[in-house]
Structure 1
């Protein structure tokens, strides 16, 4: 038989004693230690909820006034001094302290990206659902996808015409959205929020490089349009969307001659035109601080005027291929089996570009005198190689293949080798091939030879190459003065597209995904909980907890807070009172004979709760604990056959009560003697919503209009949203804060007004918006689609802007919202009130 354990406090689990854990008897008969009684929350003045039976009992401020439980003290003393007796584990002694420290630590961190960050990148976000992504290509296409636009829309950052429907697109993956594992399975980040999160998690260098590519839209270079960012819900990936070009058919249409045959000057001019256009395009890239460092025929496309374009999406994709090839060779101690991919895809890598690739992948090479990075001279080498490929034909490709395999074999053998010596052997063979094609045309041969020098400093700058090619194509005297603008000489440029961070960003993100949601991070998420945080910040981080409050028997219709209580109205003809400390049901007001449609609170000398039902009856309740079962006053509105009861309530301090109902009138009642003072007319249908702010009464109606009334003399001030034939959208909810008015409509539209001017109109909901609540920087809206749409509102010199943060899925239609001290109370049609913490 087990030995008996000493009696202990049900809260701190410490054995009772006469010194530190003194048992005190409550009026309900249960016992709790004196220290815990001091720590327990008091839901109401001079009251306490028993930790055992949960009854609400009277309790003074001093627990020492309660009697000691002498029997438990005696039993505890005997058992603790018994040889077989003993205390619980010592870890219990710190339970209360740990809980207190945890509650202090359980604060939410706001979302990391700022409003300025949002404004900077927002214009590059493509509309949700605007892109249809196609099937992925061959295995070597890495993260390159094809697609098309599903609809046309205007853009303020795309050069040329508006985006057209069915326009072909190239999509390159630049990030993966990683959502924290959390207990908030019903929360969903918004489309824009996911894109902003991916961008914010990038390193600064990655964002700068990305910005440089986006800025190409504003430069006059033939690199195609960069449309912006698009997020795919299916794979949780963010893509950058480019204009897609037709495949290049240069190899099929190029001039073909047998070995030993020489090209004529006219045939050379054909290649000179291509070289000129490539020089112009790459020179514009250099002005933006970008270099490529390699060229391939798969980079090139043609527009409707048969002008050459460089496809930046294909360049990024090739950069990822090269990174994959070289990484594979390093990890598997071999390059030869993958090196053929370079020449199979006709990729011409300058020697310094290849060295940089190998260095990034950990190959220890003696680079000799060539220590410089990728620059404009690297693109000069690539243009020259492409021209030599077109001039010489397949023999040049064979020599390139031999050179690449020689480098790959030397790296695989891990022996010291002369990289510049291997290149020199290849270089001499290429010169011989050029002499066989060009014959006595030494000028072209000499220029191409200079461009292919191993040392970048020995190569001509890109403007010099362009001038030579231009003289080859157009030999007109008066044309000599025209030159190509170039902002970069041979200096190292800011970023190489194929070597840049964007070519490795998805690979790095995939590595982070491994173990990103391990036990250590899961514990960290739990410890940064949300119980004492702001629900808006919690939503922005995807961490929201929920507490359900059940007590009604029908649909919730209204919520209000005051005097430390939450009051809720319902179709069940009751108004329930809830504690804001522990979210428990305290009392029910039962004085209505019909459905209660609205409820409000008056914070006066005598706090009042006022409720109105659909038969025009107003019940005024005293909102002091202990609560009375009967209202202190009942008011009845006059009605006729058209009347459908009270739909909305609002109060102006302790002076006036305003009611709006089915008779299209707004009535003002005195809160001093509860008499009807006046009726305000103007609406053409049911007055569905009322709100008071800064001396103005706002009324919304099913007629689609908002009317503004003076609180001093109850005269009309203004009318917002005059109805138009066939375009009336009934107003279902209002919220006002300072000079901003937020209006919810039955068609799911949410409008924002500022000083009688419409600032913004969006449609976040699919169905009626039954409740809108603005508090601080957070804007919440809920309605028929069983979702709460969360936005962060910011004001600046340019007006008001809202950032969509995400949506919270609910179990039923959202009827009422109330925000209080960081918590969001949600009244639903399924009789439940949810508290989002």
Structure 2
């Protein structure tokens, strides 16, 4: 036999340093550990063995009685033998296997917690974006201009009654992407999120529920860069007198491209529009424009089967005229990815940082030369012919000579090298920037001229234009629509069933007034109503089985008691408590009727709960009463609330009572003594508590102002505005939270978290045609009671 030990420190009791002290729940722990445990409320403590909230003396653990039996046992036993190291530790509690518990999930898991944590912060709220055009919008809070780049499509829900929440639709779209697409998008988000203002910010993903498109929201200054430069140069570019201005702008553009490379990105192509000015006058790469330009490239090559040298030249020249400065090797790679055969020997070069050098040079030449460079681009129609291409570079060099003169011959040579056919022969971006600096600083005074150059590296893994996310998804959607294809969905999941219209709903009719409460027990569903009756429904086919009649007042509360003899207990506005037998055959008369004493404050029974032979009632006289089932007498009256006690729930040997006074009180079920008060608002603002739900260490309360408040391990976690109007009903079933009320909507949330935080993920909602007065989730089925006298059952399958 093992020596008895403290459940906290696992030290054996010895009567000296490890003294067992008995708590009100009957469990023991050593005096030292009890003193160190957190005390959330005055004179209370949670038992480390059963987590029950129990009384704790003001004088500390020493005032608790010693567990004499444990001390005697510890002294009588000899020290235990060293156990076999290969055997299981008998002190460890046995873990329940999957066979021990039958779990009924209302919804299947849509994604892992790791996936949700990685992407949730990148979902831009639906109300955060104001759309101006198809690709342009503004952020509502700051008014900043943003660009919208299509990356996917929100899932369509068909004819289902269930509506996915906005966040779920965005997350489902992300989870349905290929891993390669998500990796590229993740790199963009993380790269732009760093303190590198040389790259335009990417805010995240925004879904337009009207057109069903998922967009990447990027900082955008479309046209501002060119507009500001228009005042510094004319249509012919920068003249001799403006070379200093060109030098400043050119160095900034080079630094922006180097900033992009420092984050591991290859642009793949640039245009003048792909750059912008930040608030400090520095140039940055506008990722939105780069991605939009990439779409133009993919669109220009689509629908072809093969392409010859002449057609290749025409296509390349057309892109350059539109200021889509894409190097030859990038264009060849696009054609290759599209499965288009290229009749050109020069398609062997790899895409890398050198590809951006070619595009950068075109941007700089366009700024410097203006119309002259645009006209020369029109002669670019034989890119597969090396000699023809070399002559084109010579003509560009002649234009530079006339603009720069012999004084800046090194800049002319460097820019021409940037246009080399072979990427390996192109200079580094930093070399280009140093040459441009000569327009402002003489080489002998330039400290950058002597700096060590970085090692040239190439990478094709992060090329923006070649990324999967850049390819136009609209074309794919049209193709899917024409082919009549549909995404495959699991036929086992509630959510997928909802999306396909496979989740059934059934209306239970029979009551003649608003539904007030629901309860499940045995083979039956019990429902109460303002019509003073209780209807009994079969859980097999949801048909009406029986009606309990006898109440003279409207029924406000209903519970099922699973004792040796199963019971249904109801409470009415007249103070009557009726106990009904649910054993077959169902009878017409109640087994017992109890009446609460009336006084001038009386307004009947508002809430019911049951535990260990006691019926607990929440009343209009502001008290909670404990009724003995044995003799029907009131064993205890618990006072403290300042208004109607509207809701009761029991969890871990603690009774929770919510009131119209806006507070929740905790009572010990062992002696009915008060333990704590939650929700007291010192500001004087009172929001009535309308419903409670408790599960182990979590307590959730809903209020008349539409808010939901959460406590975990006796610590207030958060308050959430969940509905527009009073929330009359709540249900907590494992990880699923259901709420409904005055706004005629049932909201479905998935909650998770740890001792430091609680997270509620909006999964979806069920729009209803009447006020929700009560709801209940049982074994994957959702029962909803309405003010229009009906009860709805939502379930998957037959």
Q: In which range does the TM-score fall when normalised by the shorter chain? A: 0.7 to 0.9
The reply on whether 1:448 has 2:418 as its aligned counterpart is no
Asked whether the equivalents of residues 519 and 525 of structure 2 are also in contact (C-alpha less than 8 Å), the reply is: yes
How far apart are 1:277 and its partner, in Å?
A: 1.4
When the two chains are superposed, the root-mean-square deviation of aligned CA atoms in Å is 2.9
> In structure 1, what is the equivalent of residue 511 of structure 2?
552
Aligned residue for 2:122, secondary structure, equals: coil
Classify the secondary structure of the residue corresponding to 2:774.
strand
Q: CA deviation at 1:109?
A: 8.4
Cα deviation for residue 339 of structure 1 reads 6.3
Superposed, 1:419-430 pairs within 5 Å as 419-430=385-396
Match of 2:686 in 1: 728
Equivalent position of 2:12 in the other structure: none
Distance change in 2, residues 1:242/1:444 (3 Å): same
**1:512 shift after superposition:** 5.9
In 2, Cα distance between equivalents of 1:793 and 1:485: 54
Helix, strand or coil at the partner of 2:189: helix
Pairing 1:756–2:746 present:
no
User: Which residue is 1:237 aligned to?
Assistant: 213
Cα distance between partner residues in 2 of 1:702 and 1:615? 19
1:124 aligns with 2:122: yes
Q: In 1, are the aligned partners of 2:613 and 2:628 still within 8 Å (CA)?
A: yes
SS at the partner of 2:413? helix
Q: Secondary structure at the match of 1:765?
A: coil
Q: Distance in 2 between matches of 1:815 and 1:538?
A: 26
Aligned mates of 1:768, 1:546 — CA distance in 2: 25
TM-score, normalised with respect to structure 1: 0.77
**Residues of 1 paired with 2:499 and 2:733: CA distance?**
15
Q: Deviation string for 1:371-421 (max 9, x for gaps)?
A: 233211111111222222233332322221221x446xxxxxxxxxx4444
**Matched residue, 1:89:** none
- Find the counterpart in structure 1 of residue 705 from structure 2: 747
> For 1:636-659, what per-residue CA distance to the aligned partner results, in whole angstroms no more than 9, with x for missing partners?
10112221111110111x411110
> Which of 567, 581, 586 is the aligned partner of 1:627?
586
**Residue of 194, 208, 211 corresponding to 1:218:** 194
Distance change >3 Å, CA 220–CA 541, structure 1 → 2 = farther
For 1:591, the equivalent position in structure 2 comes to: 550
1:791 Cα shift? Answer: 1.0
- State the match for 1:113 in structure 2: 111
Counting only pairs closer than 5 Å after superposition, residues 418-567 of structure 1 correspond to structure 2 as: 418-440=384-406, 441-475=408-442, 480=447, 489-507=456-474, 509-511=476-478, 513-514=480-481, 544-567=503-526
Distance 1:583 1:796, change over 3 A: same
Q: What CA deviation, in whole Å up to 9, does each residue of 1:145-191 have, x standing for no partner?
A: 222222x3xxxxxxxxxxx2x2322222222112243x52x211101
Residue-by-residue CA offset, 1:164-220 (whole Å, 9 max, x unaligned): 2x2322222222112243x52x21110110110111111111111111211212141
How far apart in 2 are the matches of 1:352 and 1:425? 19
Deviation at 1:795, TM superposition (A): 3.0
Distance (Å, rounded) in 1 between the aligned partners of 2:388 and 2:289: 29
Which residue number in structure 2 is paired with residue 282 of structure 1? 257
CA distance in 2, matches of 1:512, 1:485: 52
Unmatched tracts of structure 2, length 5 or more = 1-103
Q: CA deviation at 1:476?
A: 7.8
Output aligned runs, 1:782-793, within 5 Å.
782-793=740-751
C-alpha distance in structure 2 between counterparts of 1:223 and 1:612, whole Å: 66
CA gap of 1:470–1:338, structure 2 versus 1, over 3 A, is closer
Q: Cα deviations across residues 25-62 of structure 1 (Å, max 9, x unaligned)? A: xxxxxxxxxxxxxxxxxxxxxxxxxxxxxxxxxxxxxx
| Residues in 2 aligned to 1:809 and 1:821: alpha-carbon distance in whole angstroms | 22
Q: Partners in 1 of 2:669 and 2:236 — Cα distance?
A: 95
Deviation of the 1:513 alpha carbon? 4.0
Q: Secondary structure at the match of 2:617?
A: strand
What SS is found at the alignment partner of 2:148?
strand
Which residue matches 2:280?
305
Partner of 2:655: 697
Question: Following superposition of structure 1 onto structure 2, how do residues 758-797 of structure 1 map, counting pairs within 5 Å?
Answer: 758-796=716-754
Q: Deviations over 1:719-755 (max 9, x none)?
A: 1110344521111111000000111111111121102
Aligned to 1:200: 175
Contact 2:106 / 2:779 at 8 angstroms: preserved in 1? no
Does the 8 Å contact 2:516/2:556 carry over to 1? yes
Q: CA deviation at 1:511?
A: 4.2
* Change over 3 Å in CA distance of 1:337–1:420 after alignment to 2: closer
Structure 2: distance between partners of 1:198 and 1:257: 45
Contact 1:221 1:280 in 2 (8 A): no
Q: 1:284: Cα distance to partner?
A: 1.9
Structure 1 residues 119-128 or 459-468, which shifts more? 459-468
Distance 1:366 1:743 in 2: 70
Indicate whether 1:177 and 2:143 are aligned: no
2:500 and 2:606 map into 1 onto residues whose CA distance is 36
Please state if 1:601 is matched with 2:547.
no
Contact 1:327 1:361 in 2 (8 A): yes
The verdict on how the C-alpha distance between 1:199 and 1:172 changes in structure 2, with shifts beyond 3 A counting, is same
Is the partner of 1:319 in helix, strand or coil? helix
- CA separation of 1:372 and 1:344: change in aligned 2, threshold 3 A: closer
Deviations 1:744-799 (A, max 9, x none): 11111112110222212211211111111111121111111111111112234653
How far off its partner does 1:477 sit? Answer: 6.4
* Equivalence for 2:786: 828
* Equivalent residues of 2:330, 2:355 under 8 A apart: yes
Q: Distance in 1 between matches of 2:453 and 2:759?
A: 40
The aligned runs of 1:401-412 (5 Å cut-off) are 401-403=378-380, 405-406=381-382
Q: Residues 580-628 of structure 1: CA distance to partner in whole angstroms, max 9, x if unpaired?
A: 1111111110010111111111111111110000111011011101011
In structure 2, do the counterparts of structure 1 residues 371 and 761 end up closer, same or farther at CA, with 3 Å as the change threshold? farther
Change (3 A) 1:475 1:797: farther
**Per-residue deviation, 1:256:** 5.3
Distance in 1, matches of 2:105 and 2:664, equals 39
TM-fit CA distance, 1:321:
1.6
Structure 2 vs 1, CA of residues 290 and 797 (structure 1 numbering), >3 Å: closer, same or farther? farther
Q: Quick one: which of 534, 537, 540 aligns to 1:575?
A: 534
Q: 1:366 to 1:513 in 2, by over 3 A?
A: closer
Of 685, 696, 700, which residue of structure 1 is paired with 2:643? 685
Give the aligned partner of residue 249 of structure 1.
227
> 1:703: how far off?
1.0
Q: Structure 1 pair 696/541, CA: closer, same or farther in 2 (3 Å)?
A: farther
Task: Please say if residues 107 and 529 of structure 1, whose CA atoms lie closer than 8 Å, have aligned partners that are also in contact.
Answer: no
For 1:290, what is the secondary structure of its paired residue? coil
| CA deviations over 1:271-309 (Å, ceiling 9, x no partner) | 222222122212221122211122211112223333223
Change (3 A) 1:312 1:639: same
Determine if contact 1:108/1:529 at 8 Å carries over to the other structure. Answer: no
Moved more, 799-808 or 565-574: 799-808
Q: Is the partner of 1:291 in helix, strand or coil?
A: coil
What is the TM-score when the length of structure 2 is the normalising length? 0.80
Of the three residues 648, 658, 665, the one matched with 1:707 is 665
Distance 1:780 1:488, change over 3 A: farther
Alpha-carbon deviations, 1:432-459, whole Å to 9, x = none? Answer: 3223333323211121122111111111
Distance 2:132 2:306 in 1: 32
- Counterpart Cα distance in 2 of 1:322 and 1:122: 32
Tell me how many residue pairs correspond in the alignment. 686
Find the counterpart in structure 2 of residue 641 from structure 1: 600
SS in 2 for 1:249: helix
The CA deviation at 1:223 is: 2.4
> Of 375, 384, 393, which aligns to 2:352?
375
